[in-house]
Structure 1
Amino acid sequence: MIRAEPLIEAVGLSAGYHGNPIINDIDLAVHAGEMVGLFGANGAGKTTTLLTLAGEISPLGGSVSLLGAPHPKSLFKAARQGLALLTDDRAVFPALTARDNLRLGQGTVGRAIEIFPELEEHLDRVTGLLSGGQQQMLSLGRILAAKPKVILADELSLGLAPLVVKRLLLALRAAADDGAAVLLVEQHVPLALAHADRACVLARGRIALEAPAAELREHPERVSDLYLSGSRT
């Protein structure tokens, strides 16, 4: 059930680099139990949005709230409050075993294996020898085992086969069903829409479309038309 108060919210948010805005006047909220897809062409501002919500980038304007309070303006402090950020670079330690990678998280190895039982037979392998999909399961499993309240996931499917992507999305969907607020940037739009509750599409640094995922599954051209309308470089 979606709470009235969002767990993470941006109001009039503008952000960018070296004082130059990439996103402008973004209003975006994600509630407990909700999975929201954030889509857009390359350069539209998706990663900038996620990094600003996480606290890695300071806003140029507007505000961000986390768990109903002003954002602590630091990824480290936000993480301590229950925010998790998953980037596209598979945040694992390749020289350590899969088991030791999981031990570095706030959850238990057993909980991570419950989420991704496929990893159990690889626990004592050096992580650098695992496939890209296994490494991403390891990274996401370490995050989900800690049961974060807010999950920001940026292109977790990059370079992975669709079957692996579906497996990762199912795990995120389960986390949302368990009460987390999930915001997902994803290149596989149809797959993401199949698991999301709602979707927002960025175009030229602004939210050009927000709609229920079910509606966009029926009319995918509404998303593709915005992709073709152009993006920032």
Structure 2
Amino acid sequence: MSSHKGEALIRSTGLSAGYHGQPIVHDLDLEVRAGEMVGLFGANGAGKTTTLLTLAGEIKPLGGTLEFDGAPHPGSLHQAAKNGLALLTDDRSIFAPLTVRDNLRLGRGSVADALSHFPELEEHLDRQAGLLSGGQQQILSVARILASQPKVVLADELSLGLAPLIVKRLLAALRSAADAGAAVLIVEQHVPVALSTVDRALVLVRGSIALESDARTLRATPDVISDLYLAAG
């Protein structure tokens, strides 16, 4: 893991966010620095996805401030993406009728750069993306994003429904992106696996940060997070 952390590339201060004027996330202070990978954990309904979508610019904040790359957030996911922010979701954002090669060509990076992250895709380049397994489709989605060398990566439940080996493969690729200088924030249901990969962890309980700790400490005391999950139930 990287020991050289740079400036904060995504930061919220006093952030309030939700839907139809009703906040789900309250007074959220959060930052992820260049070269750092952070895990955001919490029980269902804690506000994890709402947090990620707000940081990405998909949801407008209800209060507080939001910064991206040292400046006020541009205010939309489209504009933030143009400036180097990537949002990865569990829905395997691929173009099913196109080949793997053409899917990669639609990204901001090259096919060669994508294959440098996931060389196992090379044998599938001329295969229709919709015929890949669910894990292969998620690998394709992540490969296309990482090939563009994003400054910030926000990943929401990439592992949903995937085999443990694929989950480890995806997390390792995101770890490599962080080590290369990106700021990576992941929401992940497989907490022990994620804790072996991230630098820091945040736990949301009912829309507020109930715990912030370095991952090494939490790996030594795994019951701390599970106790918070139970308390939120």
- Give the TM-score taking structure 2 as reference length: 0.98
1:183 is aligned to 2:213: no
C-alpha separation in 1, matches of 2:39 and 2:5: 16
Q: Which amino acid aligns with 1:137?
A: I
Q: What is the CA deviation profile of residues 201-231 of structure 1, one whole-angstrom value per residue up to 9, with x for unaligned ones? A: 0000100000000000000111001111125
Measure the CA separation in 1 of the matches of 2:115 and 2:51.
Answer: 31
Residue 31 (structure 1) aligns with? 33
Q: 2:196 aligns to what SS in structure 1?
A: helix
Q: Name the counterpart of 2:5.
A: 2
Residue 206 (structure 2) aligns with: 204
Q: Which amino acid aligns with 1:43?
A: G
5+ residue gaps, structure 1, are none
Could you tell me which of 59, 64, 75 is aligned with 1:57?
59
Any residues of structure 2 matched to 1:154-173 within 5 Å, and which?
154-173=156-175
Moved over 2 A (4+): none
Specify the SS of the correspondent of 1:118. helix
The one-letter amino acid of 1:108's match is S
Greater shift in the superposed pair: 222-231 or 124-133: 222-231
Distance 1:62 1:108 in 2: 37
Structure 2 Cα separation of the partners of residues 40 and 228 of structure 1:
10
Match of 1:40 in 2: 42
Rounded Cα–Cα distance in structure 2 between residues aligned with 1:222 and 1:8: 26
Percent identity, please: 70
- Count how many residue pairs are aligned between Structure 1 and Structure 2: 230
Secondary structure at 1:172's aligned position in 2?
helix
The residue type paired with residue 63 of structure 1 is: T
Letter aligned with residue 134 of structure 1: Q
In structure 2, C-alpha distance between the alignment counterparts of 1:189 and 1:125, rounded to whole Å? 33
Q: Secondary structure at the match of 1:24?
A: strand
Superposition deviation, residue 67 in structure 1: 0.4
CA distance in 1, matches of 2:11, 2:62: 16
Q: Secondary structure at the match of 2:67?
A: strand
Measured in 2, the distance between the counterparts of 1:177 and 1:169 equals 12
Residue 14 of structure 2 is matched in structure 1 by 12
RMSD across aligned positions (CA): 0.6
Unmatched runs of 5 consecutive residues or more in structure 2 = none
Q: Which amino acid is 1:223 matched to?
A: I
Normalised by the length of structure 1, the TM-score is 0.98
Secondary structure at 1:158 match in 2? coil
Q: For residue 84 of structure 1, what is the amino acid of its counterpart? A: A
SS in 2 for 1:229: helix
Deviation at 1:114, TM superposition (A): 1.1
2:75 corresponding residue in structure 1: 73
For residues 113 and 69 of structure 2, the distance between their equivalents in structure 1, rounded to whole angstroms, comes to 24
Which residue is 2:226 aligned to? 224
Deviations 1:160-206 (A, max 9, x none): 01110000000000000000000000000000000000000000010
1:174 corresponds to which letter in structure 2? Answer: S
2:152 corresponds to which residue? 150
